[in-house]
Amino acid sequence: MTVNSYLEQLTTDRVEYMTKLRQAILDHLPKGFEECINYGMLSYVVPHSIYPAGYHCDPKLPLPFMALASQKSHIGFYHMGIYADDTLLNWFQDEYAKTCKYKLDMGKSCIRFKKMENIPFDLIGELVRKVSVQDWISMYENNLKR
């Protein structure tokens, strides 16, 4: 599957929001991350050319960082940085509360958008640009050591 084929198979009610969210990610994605399909989702990874060890769960895969998926009842945005860094998580939660009138629907690293018309695209863009490839590798390795 390719990024384009993933987008082409979306339902019409999701295309606009997924495309706009993807563009917010791409517009703010720090240098070094690459977009691909990983685990059946649009994914933003550290490629093997930068991090040869790959993902510890499956070293053949690049190091994952973020993903975007159209799920059954929501659009899911997965950001591993907010799972790995409490300061980043707290910043995001505070900014989300200032920006959005609806309660944050979030798991460990998954932000669920059920009301797609209320996706805070600018805030997601800001979150995306806060973590460089080197920052993510450091966070990842520090959390692995624990």
Q: What is the pTM of this model?
A: 0.94
Give dist(CA 142, CA 25) in Å, integer.
25
Predicted confidence at residue 48, as pLDDT, reads 98
68, 41 Cβ separation under 8 angstroms: yes
Average pLDDT over residues 106-117: 91
Please give the biggest Cα pair distance in the chain.
44
At 39 the three-state DSSP class reads: coil
Q: Which amino acid appears at position 21 of this protein?
A: L
Does the structural domain 3-135 have CATH classification 3.90.1150.200? yes
Average pLDDT over residues 101-111: 90
Give yes or no for residue 109 having a pLDDT over 90: no
pLDDT, tens digit (0-9, with 9 covering 90-100), for 18-49: 999 999 999 999 999 999 999 999 999 999 99
The average confidence (pLDDT) of the chain is: 95
Per-residue HEC secondary structure of 92-143 comes to HHHHHHHHCCCCCCECCCEEEECCHHHCCHHHHHHHHHCCCHHHHHHHHHHH
